[in-house]
Amino acid sequence: MGFFGDLFKKAEPTKVTVKGSGETFVVQPGQNLMKAAIAAKIAWPHSCKVGSCGSCRTTIVSGNGYYPSSPCDPTTLLTPEETEKGMVIACQWYPKGGDMEVDVAIGTEGDCRGQI
């Protein structure tokens, strides 16, 4: 597509599959991974929703995304080993489109199913 094509490429939704449970949901451009999961009634582990507790840690098995620039660095909640194996802070991380697979401890501590 070339440099300008990539630059102006329209942002596309991301289709996410949860490893193990097989649940799927869609993340719209500009929406973070965890927010989209919760909106889809998936029992994503979480607590603070603002990038300070680390309970939403998620391993990205395949797919790409980014942290928007912010004064706080959410990656400080991860150990170097976790970062190395592809873990992200899902409430602060934005998928970039396409298909994605994630590995997350659905239904564990921080489970909010039934409270949404």
Listed ranges 4-12, 22-30, 43-51, 79-87: which one lies at the site for ligand FES (CB under 6 A): 43-51
How far is the C-alpha of 42 from the C-alpha of 52, rounded, in Å? Answer: 21
Listed ranges 14-22, 54-62, 78-86, 94-102: which one lies at the site for ligand FES (CB under 6 A): 54-62
Partner residues linked to 35 by β-bridges: none
Please, what sign has the CA dihedral across residues 78, 54, 110, 14? negative
Size of the site for ligand FES (CB under 6 A): 12
Instruction: Give least dist CB 44 to ligand FES, A.
Output: 9
Whichever of 7 and 116 has its CB closer to ligand FES, that residue is 116
How far is the C-alpha of 72 from the C-alpha of 14, rounded, in Å? Answer: 25
Phi/psi of residue 101, each to 5°? -120, 135
Listed ranges 9-17, 19-27, 49-57, 61-69: which one lies at the site for ligand FES (CB under 6 A): 49-57
Tokens for 37, please give them: 């999961």
Instruction: Give me the residues that bind ligand FES (CB under 6 A), please.
Output: 46-49, 51-56, 89, 91
